[in-house]
Amino acid sequence: MLPFNQETIDVAWLLTVLNGSFSEIYFIDCATKKIAHANESALTNLQYSLNELTQKTQFDISPTLTPEVLDELLANICNHTQQSVSIETTNLRRDGSTYPIAFRLFRSPDPAHSYIAIGSDLSQQQTNAAALQLSESRFQEIIANIPSLVFQLLRRPDNSVAFPYVSDRCADLLGIVSNALIHDANLFVDLIVPDDRATYWDTMQQSASSMHTWNWKGQVWIEAWQDIKWIAIRATPTLQKDGSTLWNGVITNVTQTKHEEMEVKQTQAQLAELSSHTERIKEQERTRIAREVHDELGGNLTAIKMAVTLVKRRLATDDSCLEKINYIDMLADRTIESVRRIASDLRPSILDLGLVAAIEWQTREFERQMGITCEFITSDDDIALNSDQATALFRVFQEALTNISKHANATLVHVHLKKQKADITLEIDDNGKGMEQADRLKLKSFGIRGMMERVNSLGGQLSITSSTETGTNILINIPLTHE
């Protein structure tokens, strides 16, 4: 067995560590700056053998390094003022290519004769830094061109909040610079008008609890401009390891959209009011015309018939005249019947007896005219409604029966009218072929639209459920308003 002393073991371990290191390690003569030894990583990177490399100086492999700079660095470690010094330079490979390298120079155990240079290739580090810088530049370009404010909001377990990131759009949207909001997150809450703060916190809490997207819309007061803006928040939450919730999202100025939405709603309300007013005027005019037709024309026709009857008696012996008188008498009867029908179509006089009586009469008329069985059920003998409500609901019922007669191919209709504490419900079922969704959206489908407009004008709701198996169900619910 060969004898091994401690010095032999130390040298063996040192060579193993040197060759196993990913860093380039050089032993360099202090006087000549020639390379005395280098590890495998240095030989591989520089593309030289050890014999070839020991013929070169550090200036040969690092041509950008000057003797003055190197001597100054070595002086700092040789006079024991520093344990090591660092420098970044460029190494030259055998094939002429170069790569950036960072050296740390150390004193060797025998500083009078050599020093140790440990180098780290900076190529990947610089590549990564360049890629990161490019990515950051692109990110900032994208953020700069987004009209919304991009932000990160952090809510800690103690419910305190902070803005880790706020884009530069902050000043354009909120009138405060992004750094101010990052420094003090409460500045944002202070901007929210008091009436909207509760929904802001509530929607944030709901998003944190469910981990669903946070959506909030509200008003903020911009002190710098003495103006109120509508903003919308949309952000995605992420649960952090410490229990905090981090939202990444955008804040958008929706003032213009909100104003347009409010204008549309106001226009719709005005149109609904105008439609309701038009219907009332129309019903009043129908009532007036119906009464005039019934009273004036009906009275005149009755007088004509009485006169014809009197003339008929006096001309009983004149057959030629009697025939003409009989024809006039028959024509008067038909005209009287037409007058009654027209007056009834304009406004059924049965409405004067109440809504229950009017709907019951209409179901009988529908069954008689169309030959379709129509069953009417109600829990009340009469329901007190003002005339506008009663007339509007009756017209909706008439339109529903008209649609059934034209399109449903039904053989049975159920009508159920009931009064509850504060509203009245009218339900109409048929066993027909049902109604397609596309039929309800037709441009000229004014019947259903008219029904909905009338119900809306009463402050009620109308729903339609339909299928080919069960037919169509129309459910109307309106609040009770007494005369």
Q: Does 416 score more than 80 pLDDT?
A: yes
448 pLDDT more than 60:
yes
Tens-place pLDDT, residues 272-282? 676 666 766 76
Last residue of a domain, one of 253, 277, 309: 253
Residue 196 lies in a domain: yes
Q: Which of the four pLDDT bands, split at 50, 70 and 90, describes residue 6?
A: very low
Q: Is the pLDDT of residue 308 over 80?
A: no
Q: Rounded to the nearest 5°, which phi and psi values hold at 307?
A: -65, -40
Query: Are both 62 and 161 inside the same structural domain?
Result: no
Most confident of 139-143, 220-224, 384-388: 220-224
Confidence of residue 347 (pLDDT cuts 50, 70, 90): low
**Pair 375, 386 in one domain:** yes
Give me the DSSP letters along 406-453: III--SEEEEEEEE-SSEEEEEEEE-SS---HHHHT-TT-HHHHHHHH
Do residue 219 and residue 112 come from a single domain? no
Assign residue 224 the CATH number of its domain.
3.30.450.20
Report how far residue 214's alpha carbon sits from residue 194's, in angstroms, rounded to the nearest whole number.
20
Q: Total domain count for the chain? A: 4
User: What does the pLDDT look like over 353-378, one tens digit per residue?
Assistant: 888 888 888 899 889 889 999 999 98
Q: What is the mean pLDDT of residues 33-37?
A: 90
375 plus 467 within the same structural domain: yes
| Pairing between β-strand 373-378 and β-strand 245-253 as defined by DSSP bridges | unpaired
Q: Which amino acid is at 479?
A: P
Per-residue confidence (pLDDT) for residue 479, from 0 to 100: 87
How far is 57 from 30, CA to CA, in rounded Å?
Answer: 11
CB 59 within 8 A of CB 35: no
Residues 247 and 329 in one domain: no
- In this structure, the answer to whether residues 154 and 119 fall within a common structural domain is no
* Shared-domain flag, residues 234 and 273: no
10 within domain boundaries: no
pLDDT value of position 2: 39
Residue 443 — pLDDT band, cuts 50, 70, 90? Answer: very low
Tell me: do 355 and 473 sit in the same domain.
Answer: yes
pLDDT tens figures, 209-251: 999 999 999 999 988 788 889 999 999 999 999 999 999 999 9
The angle that helices 298-314 and 319-346 make with each other, rounded to 10 degrees, is: 170
Model pLDDT, residue 199:
95
Whether residue 111 is found in the same domain as residue 22: yes
Q: Considering the domain boundaries, does residue 139 fall inside one?
A: no
- In this structure, is residue 185 part of a structural domain? yes
Q: Write down the pLDDT at residue 326.
A: 74
Q: Comparing 381 with 25, which gets the higher pLDDT?
A: 25
Residue 425's φ and ψ, nearest 5 degrees, are -120, 130
Instruction: Quickly state the pLDDT bin for 440 (edges 50, 70, 90).
Output: low
Average pLDDT over residues 135-155: 78
Q: How many CB atoms lie within 10 A of CB 451?
A: 22
For the cut 80, the answer to whether the pLDDT of residue 92 exceeds it is yes
Q: Are residues 79 and 47 in the same domain?
A: yes
Last residue of a domain, one of 127, 158, 184: 127
Decide if 174 is inside a domain.
yes
Q: Which residue has the higher pLDDT, 35 or 289?
A: 35
Which of 95-99, 320-324, 465-469 is least confident? 320-324
Whether 159 is in a domain gets the answer yes
Phi, psi of 272 (to 5 degrees): -65, -40
List, in sequence order, every residue forming a beta bridge with 245; answer none if it has no partner. Answer: 155, 239
| Whether the predicted pLDDT of 17 surpasses 90 | no
Is residue 312 a part of any domain in this protein? yes
**132 found inside a domain:** no
Give pLDDT, residue 259.
76
479 three-class SS:
strand
Check residues 369 and 258 and name the one with the higher pLDDT: 369
Which one of 307, 331, 346 terminates a domain?
346
Same domain as 111, residue 66: yes
Per-residue b/e over 391-413, b at no fewer than 16 CB within 10 Å? Answer: bbbbbbbbbbbebbbebbebeeb
| One domain for residues 423 and 335 | no
CATH number at residue 412: 3.30.565.10
In the 8-state DSSP scheme, what is residue 469?
T
pLDDT of residue 444: 52
Question: Model pTM?
Answer: 0.46
On whether the CB atoms of residues 50 and 38 are closer than 8 A, the answer is yes
Residue 166 to residue 187: CA distance in whole angstroms: 13
Mean pLDDT estimate for the chain: 82
H or E element that contains 218: strand 214-222
Q: Determine the structural domain holding residue 275 and report its residue range.
A: 260-346
Q: What is the Cα–Cα distance from 279 to 391, expressed in whole angstroms?
A: 10
